[in-house]
Structure 1
Amino acid sequence: MEHMSLQEITTACGGTYYGEPSLLTREVSGVTIDSRKAGKDFLFVPIKGTRVDGHSFIPQVMEQGALCTLSEHPLSDSSPYILVSSCAQALKDIAEHYRRALGIKVVGISGSVGKTSTKEMIASILEQKYSVLKTAGNFNNEIGLPLTVFQIQKEHEVAVLEMGISDFQEMNRLAKVAQPDICVLTNIGQCHLENLGDRDGVRKAKTEMFAHRRPGASIILNGDDDKLSEIATVHAASFSKQDGTTVVPYSDSTHDETSAASAVGKSGDTTPIFFGKDPHNAFYADEIQSLGLKGTSCKIHTPAGDFTVIISIPGAHMVYNALAGTAVGIELGLTLDEIKTGIEALQPVAGRNHMIETEHLTILDDCYNANPVSMKASLDVLSTALTRKVAILGDMFELGTKELLLHREVGTYAAEKKLDLLCCIGTLSKAMADGASEFSAQNDTKICYFETKNDFLNAVSSIIKEHDTILVKASHGMAFEEIVHALCHLTF
């Protein structure tokens, strides 16, 4: 991280400093909540977890050479510390101060589905021109986002920050830290309904991001999403009048054109640039051709021209990620050649549509997380396989009162894809298996239900065949990476 003194930190978090006054002008070399990473001149932020209280590691980190620590209670030793009421809040306050001082563009990304894959696409594109920092792993929450901001170094020119939420006001707190120059919303789907109620609630929570955008920010929306199209109608004019914000929808032209057109009330214009931009400044894709598990080819149209590109990660939904990335690239001054190169350079992330080819099997490792929309998208990818098609699906969490109905719908969708084998694992997935069974009479899909993951693992060698193409997907809490591991080591 760049320069930040203990005096600045104390002021930023509204704390009280205790220690040698001369240290207040000293600058910290980094900020961490992990005692193992608290090296020389670091600021340690002890977080109270469900099992461990970080305060217990304060003596250790000071011995390791940390410059200072935060604390929620007075310390008896002579170590320099800053007393705060909440270390978790102080972490965000300090990160907000640090972000405000940085001369760097920030791209903030959220949505119900595709946040991480869109983040990876945008970063891959921007890396063709800039030094980019991107959110690592799942560091997209109220702890992870501030820690990511602290990773921004002098050499970085753009930060691509993913923001994930599960309740109202979380996005307010995250965006207050990120202060995005470009806001990207991928879609409004059925996730975290336990807290957010319905898709209107999801939209309300996600769009809290806009309140903390920087002046002149661009807002890039999926123009094919009905709820995001409504955002353009309701908010675009007020954005423009307030600070010159540009609203940029992007669209797959094979979808219904009326939603994007209604966003500006201009019939036939599916992907306009709103307010202050040329009305023909549109981002859309056509000539979309599936290459099976090898990816997708499409032609992308932009205000700067058109280009044909091959997206190496399979799935029609990846076209949306490429469109979002293209819009961000144009906003930040990249050429079409740079954007095309960035799209084609994209590499899959483990657990996110990651294709693993073993000696015996092809495995689509998509087990990091799941909701109804992403489940169906992954099943679409699996359906393009030329070998026997197998889906191993597990419970989807945080779906609220309609969770069983939504699991049933995914099961029916899987059966409609005429898979060879569908394995449903988990308590909620019994409804998935039931939904598939009701439809499977119309095709030859074999359906197996397993109450637990261990039940499936005990049976895996008897139901999987050599050369199968296998999708593995469930919510992260199901820990389906164990299944991926077992499949990778399966012999015939």
Structure 2
Amino acid sequence: MVNTLTPNELLHITRGEILQQGPLSSINYISTDSRKIIHGDQTLFVALKGFKVDGHDYIADAYTKGVRIFVVQHEDTDTHIPNSTVIRVKSTTEALQDLATWNRLQYEGIVVGITGSNGKTILKEWLGQILANHFDITKSPKSYNSQTGVPLSVFGIERHHKAAIIEAGISQPDEMAKLQAIIQPNIGIMTNIGTAHAEGFSDQKEKLNEKLRLFKDAQLIIYRKDHEAIHQSLQNLYPADKLVAWSEQPGGDYTLSIKKEKEGSKITLIKSDLGLYTFHSRFTDEASLENLRHTIVASLVLGLSEPQIQQSIQELDTVEMRLTLKSGIHQCLIIDDTYNNDLAGLDIALEFMNSQRPKKRKILILSDLLQAGDKGSVYSHVNALIRHYQLDMLIAVGTDIHRLKSAPPCEVYFYRDTAHFLEDFPGLSFQDDLILVKGARVFQFERIVDALQERIHGTVLEINLNALRKNFTFYKSLLKPTTKTMIMVKAFAYGGGATEIAHHLEQLNANYLAVAYTDEGVSLRNEKITLPVMVLNPVQDSFGNLIKHRLEPVVYSLSFFRQLGEYCRSNNNAISVHLDLDTGMHRLGFGEEDLEELRSLTHRYPELRIASLYTHLAGADDAAHETYSMRQLSLFQSMCSSIQSFLGYRPLMHALNSAGIVRYPEFQMDMVRLGIGLYGVEVNGLHENALQPVSVLKTTISQIKLLKKGETVGYSRKGTMNHDGKIATIAIGYADGYDRRFSNGIGKVIIHGQKAPVIGNICMDMTMIDVTGMDVHEGDEVIIYGAGLSLKEQAAAIGTIPYELLTNISSRVKRVYYLD
């Protein structure tokens, strides 16, 4: 909710012109997403023109939600919107930013601006948790730190908030100046500088200086003095009286030294006046300890006492900065969002819930919204959200949330606390439901998730749906707007789980899916996936299912064409098919010599409608094969021309896979086939920094053993300790897909950012690793593939390709999906 804004003020702020004058009413909400409009008669709709979505296409939808005032960008926007005011601006993105700047200027409280390469969101959440125990605050929802995310965050600042915490992220030069004008932080925090988003800058120094522009008008800037590059740049840019430095070593405004203990860490604080205080935390990893010390210093600067901070530190946990989709009991799907609870986060979580595949019911388990300002207004808005997202059931936990008692238009159950809900849990019937669990940390809703969640093997494959979206967007940026995308979700979507990924691809407006076998396509249809699906390896026994489930088979030979044609004719059916043309892969497909008979078959069996013609490039991932690839592409175009001449219509044409999209964009034709690239592997090695790994395979330490030099480890005594030390047994083996070729030191895993080698032979269900000299404990998380251990690096170590590692991950390894 923004400060009330009149249309005249809107016109002045955005520097726009009125295209159409309608009734004038005050504005209390600003929306860029027609799906999220609740109070339409009080809402301004800003039609952003984005890479994937053009907001001008959703003006009519916003109108049906009651909106009567619009800011548009297009010259040709239809202004004949009944009883509406339409304002045209040069850039709707800039207009949105100008409106956010105006809203910020109405606020007289403290604004904390956070930037850096890593840790921004976790620091924002931890600082927010600590401050919220003492006064009313607001903060950026999730990772809303972009050119549009920051304005939307600032719109959440209201007069009753005592402080606002806003994070800012950039990826290109000159972006921070725009964010600085919007945020205008009183207090700045610089977390660190790393390699993230480096591709837009000439060097690390340019990126650092761009980030530091956020603090141009800040009164105080908090940073870690041990980061030498940050320290030097800040000293060069800003006067000393603005800088608040902390360090592990004496010489900063605050000295915060660490001593790791068995059950956590002790942080000793020495202030410049030699005041001394000791904090205790359960965290031992370096990233968490750096974020925690930033949080401590920021809390002190904002006026909290050391005992107040220590009390709050006890409540901090490893914050899951993401919405996580998990398999639940009785075919339910669980959305786990249990780390905090506020209106902005609830709206985001409900939107995520609304985009999931349909289940029998939509159920929200919600706690009190703590430190939320005026309770009546807050719970009135919760009611509006429940109505807007058409929930079937609300389970409300807490004492304040009883204010909802008479209003929610759904089935409602109230519980005083989590314990009372769990007492009733066995009697509640959850079956094939979509359940969002959203609660403040004090309510310990992780206990509810634990009760609802399907029992899982200790090894999980986490799939980052945001990374999937970013990779998809990268490849789309290489294509013409008219080029269609076919996404390969065969082999369980390269190990990631076909159903959830296919559903997400529907949300991203992919045009086609491709699977290997008919039963994979049937499974997608049973899960309500509606996109066209191409089946690469159909067999005669599957003809009935192909037609029943509207699947489109590949036809690769004359005999298969006849078989399918006869089946369709005898059953009075028609079907769309895709013709595989062999131009040099020499695997499956029609050759040039088959085209004359293919002409005859297409005339004989009109029941087979040719949806596309395609070929496979044998060497698109290697420049050494460019001559061969070009010969294939030339032959493909020639064969397509021949086929089109006797078909009498023009099917889609496609030849490029992930590697080909990068190497031969001029041959994108009507459609491309995106496979391994979507999952974060750029096999050409030309744009690796532009992609993000989609999946992380992780497990836990089951046991730690101390061994003497010369002792042996594992089957056949293949592992030998060449020093006194310790090993850890982790809960993954070759039955989970951890290739046995990683045995005996070839494989590495990561624990707390450090690499540990495999020792001995990998077993069916377990692996031993050498953790000598490392501070690790039973139950610690272990990364098998992920940040710091790329799939390409791991595959190269055992002489294979990333495809094999991904597709070999066993089905007993549970897939967990999240949106960070």
Query: TM-score with structure 2 length normalisation?
Result: 0.43
2:304 counterpart of 1:334 = yes
2:84 counterpart of 1:115 = no
State the SS of the aligned residue for 1:147: helix
Q: 1:411 to 1:388 in 2, by over 3 A?
A: closer
Structure 2 residue aligned with 1:148, among 125, 137, 153? 153
- Look up the match of 1:14: 15
- Contact 1:351/1:366 (<8 A) preserved: no
Within a 5 Å distance, the mapping from 1:212-227 to structure 2 comes to 213-214=217-218, 217-227=219-229
Coordinate RMSD, CA, aligned: 4.1
State the SS of the aligned residue for 1:308: strand
- Look up the match of 2:729: 388
Whichever residue aligns with residue 94 of structure 1, its letter is: L
State the SS of the aligned residue for 2:810: helix
State the SS of the aligned residue for 2:816: helix
- Look up the match of 2:647: none
Q: Could you report, residue by residue, the CA deviation over 1:373-426 in whole angstroms, capped at 9, with x for unpaired residues?
A: xx9xx99x989985534799xxxxxxxxxxxxxxx9999997843365774479
Structure-2 separation of matches of 1:201 and 1:44:
36
Q: 1:16 to 1:250 in 2, by over 3 A?
A: same
Q: Could you report, residue by residue, the CA deviation over 1:166-220 in whole angstroms, capped at 9, with x for unpaired residues?
A: 1111111111110011111111112222112332122122112123x34xx1101
- Look up the match of 1:86: 91
Q: Could you report, residue by residue, the CA deviation over 1:210-235 in whole angstroms, capped at 9, with x for unpaired residues?
A: 23x34xx1101111112112124323
Structure-2 separation of matches of 1:154 and 1:433:
53
Q: 1:201 to 1:232 in 2, by over 3 A?
A: closer
Whichever residue aligns with residue 196 of structure 1, its letter is: F
Within a 5 Å distance, the mapping from 1:152-171 to structure 2 comes to 152-171=157-176
2:458 counterpart of 1:361 = yes
- Look up the match of 1:248: 244
2:101 counterpart of 1:129 = no
Structure-2 separation of matches of 1:22 and 1:140:
34
* Shift in Å, 1:247: 0.3
- Contact 1:283/1:327 (<8 A) preserved: no
Structure-2 separation of matches of 1:179 and 1:129:
24
Q: Could you report, residue by residue, the CA deviation over 1:301-346 in whole angstroms, capped at 9, with x for unpaired residues?
A: 3458444334345522212212211221122111112222232222
Whichever residue aligns with residue 214 of structure 2, its letter is: M
- Contact 2:138/2:163 (<8 A) preserved: yes
Within a 5 Å distance, the mapping from 1:80-479 to structure 2 comes to 80-211=85-216, 213-214=217-218, 217-237=219-239, 246-251=242-247, 253=248, 257=249, 269-272=250-253, 282-289=254-261, 291=263, 296-302=265-271, 305-313=275-283, 315-350=285-320, 360-361=457-458, 386=704, 388-389=729-730, 416-418=755-757, 420=768, 423-424=784-785, 429-433=790-794, 437=797, 451-452=802-803, 456=806, 458-460=808-810
State the SS of the aligned residue for 2:4: coil
Whichever residue aligns with residue 71 of structure 2, its letter is: L
Structure-2 separation of matches of 1:114 and 1:42:
34
Whichever residue aligns with residue 325 of structure 1, its letter is: T
- Contact 1:351/1:365 (<8 A) preserved: no
Structure-2 separation of matches of 1:321 and 1:48:
36
- Contact 2:750/2:756 (<8 A) preserved: no
Structure-2 separation of matches of 1:136 and 1:103:
21
State the SS of the aligned residue for 1:484: strand
- Contact 1:46/1:53 (<8 A) preserved: yes
Whichever residue aligns with residue 175 of structure 1, its letter is: Q
- Look up the match of 1:398: none
Structure-2 separation of matches of 1:7 and 1:57:
24
Structure-2 separation of matches of 1:339 and 1:143:
33
Q: Could you report, residue by residue, the CA deviation over 1:24-83 in whole angstroms, capped at 9, with x for unpaired residues?
A: xx4212111110222331011111223331112212212322241101135123411221
Structure-1 separation of matches of 2:98 and 2:800:
48
Q: Answer with 1 or 2: which has the greater Rg.
A: 2
Tell me the percent identity: 25
State the SS of the aligned residue for 2:67: coil
Whichever residue aligns with residue 28 of structure 1, its letter is: I
- Contact 1:288/1:299 (<8 A) preserved: no
State the SS of the aligned residue for 1:417: strand
**Larger deviation: 319-328 or 71-80?**
71-80
Unmatched runs of 5 consecutive residues or more in structure 2: 325-338, 340-445, 468-679, 681-688, 705-727, 734-746, 759-767, 770-782
- Contact 1:92/1:177 (<8 A) preserved: yes
Structure-2 separation of matches of 1:409 and 1:165:
33
Q: 1:188 to 1:14 in 2, by over 3 A?
A: same
- Contact 1:457/1:483 (<8 A) preserved: no
Unmatched runs of 5 consecutive residues or more in structure 1: 258-268, 273-281, 393-407, 438-446, 465-481, 487-492
- Contact 1:411/1:432 (<8 A) preserved: no
State the SS of the aligned residue for 1:460: coil
Structure-1 separation of matches of 2:145 and 2:34:
21
* Shift in Å, 1:20: 4.5
- Look up the match of 1:28: 27
Q: 1:283 to 1:134 in 2, by over 3 A?
A: farther
Q: 1:35 to 1:328 in 2, by over 3 A?
A: same
Structure-2 separation of matches of 1:181 and 1:142:
20
- Look up the match of 2:605: none
Structure-2 separation of matches of 1:87 and 1:409:
49
Structure-2 separation of matches of 1:363 and 1:385:
18
Whichever residue aligns with residue 106 of structure 1, its letter is: V
**Larger deviation: 32-41 or 73-82?**
73-82
Q: Could you report, residue by residue, the CA deviation over 1:229-269 in whole angstroms, capped at 9, with x for unpaired residues?
A: 212432343xx5xxxx5201122x2xxx4xxxxxxxxxxx4
Structure-2 separation of matches of 1:448 and 1:383:
27
- Contact 1:424/1:448 (<8 A) preserved: no
Structure-2 separation of matches of 1:199 and 1:346:
32
State the SS of the aligned residue for 1:55: helix
* Shift in Å, 1:348: 3.3
Structure-2 separation of matches of 1:313 and 1:364:
24
Query: TM-score with structure 1 length normalisation?
Result: 0.70
* Shift in Å, 1:349: 3.3
* Shift in Å, 1:88: 0.8
Whichever residue aligns with residue 388 of structure 1, its letter is: T
- Look up the match of 1:76: 80
